[in-house]
Amino acid sequence: MARFEQDVAVYDSRRPDEPPDAHSRPTSEPAWVKWTLIGIAVLFLAALLLLPLLTVFTQALSKGIGTFLAAFTDPAGAAAIRLTLLVTAIAVPLNLVFGVCAAWAIAKYEFWGKSFLTTLIDIPFSVSPVISGMIYVILFGANSVLYPYLHDAHLQIVFAVPGIVLATIFVTFPFVARELIPLMQDQGTAEEEAALSLGANGWQTFWRVTLPNIRWGLLYGVLLCNARAMGEFGAVSVISGHIRGKTNTMPLHIELLFDSYNFAGAFAMASLLALLALVTLVAKTLLELRYGDELAATRRH
């Protein structure tokens, strides 16, 4: 015990600008091990991420800027872009509301079936998107029990925009909830109880206490959800019917162009999706640089 106290005293007596000795380092490997691991990570990322991304933009511009822009002004391509943005604009806000409600219920209340609800939220992570699309076809297709009622109400789910929205919501709804649940559980209920004891109602407590505490985790989850919604292929491919100009989102339109040997157009549309993903990545990086400490607290699992 005396030896331990002596070591602590020596460590605390160091100047703030004094580098730690070898015994205080988290690892004791030589410098070449560190740089070797860094080199392996950089090479891996360059080979599997940066090189394919560079290839996409190179192929997109291989036939000139005119061909590149024509992919976006083409009626089918423009319709795919509009549909992707529309589906994302519907799915992300709905998942935001669901994520906040689910996280609030799981983190703030104790009830029977709580662990089962948490497991259900993780289902889209374990189920193939293609299977989820098939489930919606079975539920709302022409051979389903619900189809006569939908037909009488003039509602078309399969091979239409509502089905695409439902499939996109299904595959993306865990992102916001899974970011918020551990955050709210770590924060507990002390601050909300204090606000209520001071006379605030439930709505005031949420806006002035809960929301400021979860804002960065919420924004981070929305960014991930948005990126996933724009790039979804499997579930949308099954339920959309691949109707050109009507139910083809950007990923489906890319497949159509590629199958038609229009490689320049396919890569041009793929470059737009890549740019949207890069915008999401830049936004995520700026958040982490500007609010690193707060984001680290919100992502503590």
Q: Do residues 168 and 236 lie in contact, with contact meaning Cβ atoms separated by under 8 Å?
A: yes
Per-residue confidence (pLDDT) for residue 22, from 0 to 100: 46
Q: What is the pLDDT of residue 162?
A: 93
User: DSSP letters of 160-192?
Assistant: SHHHHHHHHHHHHTHHHHHHHHHHHHHH-SHHH
Note the pLDDT of residue 143: 87
pLDDT value at residue 202: 76
Predicted confidence pLDDT, tens digits, the chain (301 residues): 445 445 545 444 555 555 555 444 556 677 888 888 888 988 888 788 788 888 888 888 888 888 889 888 899 999 999 999 999 999 999 999 999 999 888 888 888 888 888 888 989 988 889 998 999 999 998 888 888 898 888 889 999 999 999 999 999 989 999 889 888 888 877 888 888 888 888 788 888 888 888 888 888 889 889 989 998 999 999 999 888 888 999 999 999 999 988 898 999 999 998 888 788 878 777 777 776 665 565 455 4
Contact indicator for 154, 131 with CB cutoff of 8 Å: no
- The first and second tokens of residue 230, run together, are 């724009």
Burial 40-72 (b: 16+ CB within 10 A, else e): eeeeeeeeeeeeeeeebbebbeeeeeeebeebe
What three-state secondary structure class fits 110? coil
pLDDT value for 50: 82
- Residue 217's pLDDT is what? 84
pLDDT at 26: 57
pTM for this predicted structure? 0.80
Q: Quick one: which of 88, 87, 90, 118 has its CA closest to 180? A: 118
Q: Which residues contact 183 (CB under 8 A, 6 or more apart)?
A: 103, 213, 214, 217, 297, 298, 299, 300
Residue with tokens 């984001």: 295
